[in-house]
């Protein structure tokens, strides 16, 4: 299969990052040819694994594929932290050098130029490398700890003027982007379910990217979701990773857990005393990549009473403005992870107009969760995991 633009970006970043690590952590520290060759082969091998990881995961049996995923993504996170630490130290040194260059001539003349012999240069390189290893290791350790610890709870009151008074205060707890797989398994899921139930939701919305793998491989971990408790039920919409993992099989499995999948359709929540429509759509891109029919908002809204309030579950925060124009009062999405790792946390807004948090257009609202789990490196830096509780009021 041809590489996607995102995969090409990962490949280029892996190549440049490993060259940078080799230059700064190996070449500068040791003149010994054997050590340089060992480091070059090791870093080159990890570059190839990162570039070919998706192909390897698809073609290898499940057990070796899990090992490839665990090793490649773990190293990706550690390497990123090392690059960030080295780059930070290099930038600091450059700023200090530039500051000296910009001093007035008289001030520079009064300060004798430091003499740097070979031993002192080697010591400075070793000190910089040691500092980068300590700082990078600290970042990696913190990021891993943050990814696996309890998500932050975000509670938000959302005003929906058309909400029936009988449903005033109805709460929706959102679980999204769990990415159950080699890293996230049953223990993580049991704790997440416990925390979700402690919020006493009236309705649970699982907004996609639930899994990275097949039902036989991961069903036992996902079964924890059967313990979610909600008065009006538990509902699921597909994410792009769910398509890659076999969306139809997962929808059938979730049905056995009494979790309802909304695939371009809506259901009524409430009773004769007051109700709203809960609308669900398939993922925006996941189905198209496999040549299947996916997101269809028109079909999902067809036949509903336009006077009734509508809450839309959509994995990606795409098409919100169109949904608002078609009478959707609240859209609940995920997908972006809020960037998950620096520097993506600072760049995610360039890709997504609605990248994380609460947005509003007229009387319509959008909430984009940072997600409960993670994808790729088992780390979060600058974008902690999130468990969302939305309370509806008129």
Q: Which two tokens stand for residue 386?
A: 């999130």
Say whether pLDDT at 308 is over 80: yes
Mean pLDDT of 148-162: 95
Percent of the chain with pLDDT over 90: 60
Q: What is the mean pLDDT of the chain?
A: 89
Euclidean distance between the first and the last CA atom of the chain, given in angstroms as a whole number: 50
Question: Which sign does the torsion angle of CA 212, 214, 220, 225 carry?
Answer: positive
Decide which of 210 and 100 is more confident: 210
Sheet holding 330-333, edge to edge: 265-271, 274-280, 310-313, 330-333, 364-368, 357-361
Residue 218's region, left for phi above 0, alpha for psi from -120 to 50, else beta, is alpha
Mean pLDDT of 2-21: 77
Q: What is the pLDDT of residues 343-363, one digit of tens each?
A: 899 989 888 999 999 999 999
d(CA 354, CA 368): 7
User: Among 132-136, 203-207, 280-284, 316-320, which is the least confidently predicted range?
Assistant: 132-136
What 3 state SS string does the chain have?
A: CCCCHHHHHHHHHHHHHHHHHHHHHHHCCCCCHHHHHHHHHHHHHHHHHHHCHHHHHHHCCHHHHHHHHHHHHHHHHHHHHHHHHHHHHHHHHHHHHHHHHCCCHHHHHHCCCCCCCHHHHHHHHHHHHHHHHHHHHHHHHHHHHHHHCCCEEEEEEEECCCCCHHHCCCEEEEECCCCECCCCCHHHHHHHHHHHHHCCCCEEEECCCCECCCHHHHHHHHHHHHHCCCCCCEEECCCHHHHHCCHHHHHHHHHHCCCEECCCEEEEEEECCEEEEEEECCCCCHHHHCCCCCCCHHHHHCCCCCCCCEEEECCCCCCHHHHHHCCCCEEEECCCHHHCECCHHHHHHHHCCCCCEEEEECCEEEEECCCCCCCCCCCCEECCCEEEEEEEEC
Mean pLDDT of 180-200: 96
The band of 32, judged by pLDDT with boundaries at 50, 70 and 90, is: confident
Say whether pLDDT at 179 is over 60: yes
- Domains, the chain, ordered by start: 5-146 (no CATH), 152-393 (3.60.21.10)
Contact 163, 363 (CB under 8 A): no
pTM of the model: 0.88
Say whether pLDDT at 200 is over 70: yes
Q: Which two tokens stand for residue 89?
A: 């130290």
- Sequence-distant (6+) residues with CB within 8 A of 130 are none
d(CA 192, CA 198): 10
The band of 1, judged by pLDDT with boundaries at 50, 70 and 90, is: very low
Decide which of 333 and 68 is more confident: 333
Q: At 342, phi and psi to the nearest 5?
A: -65, 135
Q: Which two tokens stand for residue 106?
A: 């008289």
pLDDT at 4: 61
Say whether pLDDT at 6 is over 70: no
pLDDT at 91: 86
pLDDT at 109: 56
């Amino acid at each position: 299969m041809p590489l996607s633009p995102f995969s090409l970006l990962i490949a280029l970043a892996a190549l440049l990052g490993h060259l940078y690590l080799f230059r700064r952590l190996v070449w500068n520290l040791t003149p010994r040819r054997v050590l340089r060759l060992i480091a070059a082969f090791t870093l080159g091998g990890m570059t190839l694994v990162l570039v070919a990881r998706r192909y390897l995961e698809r073609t290898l049996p499940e057990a070796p594929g899990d090992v490839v995923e665990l090793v490649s993504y773990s190293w990706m996170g550690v390497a990123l932290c090392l690059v960030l630490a080295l780059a930070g130290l290099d930038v600091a040194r450059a700023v200090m050098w530039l500051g000296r260059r910009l001093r007035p001539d008289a001030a520079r003349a009064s300060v004798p130029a430091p003499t740097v012999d070979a031993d002192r240069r080697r010591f400075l390189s070793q000190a910089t490398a040691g500092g980068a290893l300590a700082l990078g290791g600290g970042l990696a350790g913190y990021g891993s700890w943050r990814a696996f610890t309890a998500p932050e709870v975000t509670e938000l009151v959302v005003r929906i003027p058309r909400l029936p008074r009988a449903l005033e205060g109805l709460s929706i707890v959102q679980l999204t982007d769990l990415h159950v797989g080699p890293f996230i398994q049953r223990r993580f899921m049991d704790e997440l379910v416990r925390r979700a139930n402690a919020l006493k939701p009236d309705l649970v919305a699982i907004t996609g990217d639930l899994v990275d793998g097949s039902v036989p491989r991961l069903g036992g971990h996902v079964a924890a979701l059967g313990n979610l408790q909600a008065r009006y039920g538990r509902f699921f919409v597909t994410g792009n990773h769910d398509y890659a993992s076999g969306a139809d099989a997962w929808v059938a499995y979730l049905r056995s857990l009494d979790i309802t999948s909304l695939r371009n359709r809506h259901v009524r929540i409430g009773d004769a005393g007051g109700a709203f429509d809960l609308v669900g759509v398939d993922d925006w891109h996941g189905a198209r990549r496999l040549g299947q029919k996916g997101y269809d908002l028109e079909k999902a809204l067809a036949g509903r009473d336009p006077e009734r309030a509508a809450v839309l579950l959509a994995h990606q925060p795409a098409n919100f403005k169109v949904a608002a124009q078609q009478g959707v009062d609240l859209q609940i999405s995920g997908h972006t992870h809020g960037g998950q790792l620096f520097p993506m946390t600072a760049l995610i807004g360039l890709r997504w107009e609605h990248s994380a948090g609460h947005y509003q257009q007229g009387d319509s609202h959008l909430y984009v969760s940072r997600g409960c789990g993670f994808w790729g490196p088992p780390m979060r830096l600058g974008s902690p995991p999130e468990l969302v509780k939305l309370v509806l009021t008129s």
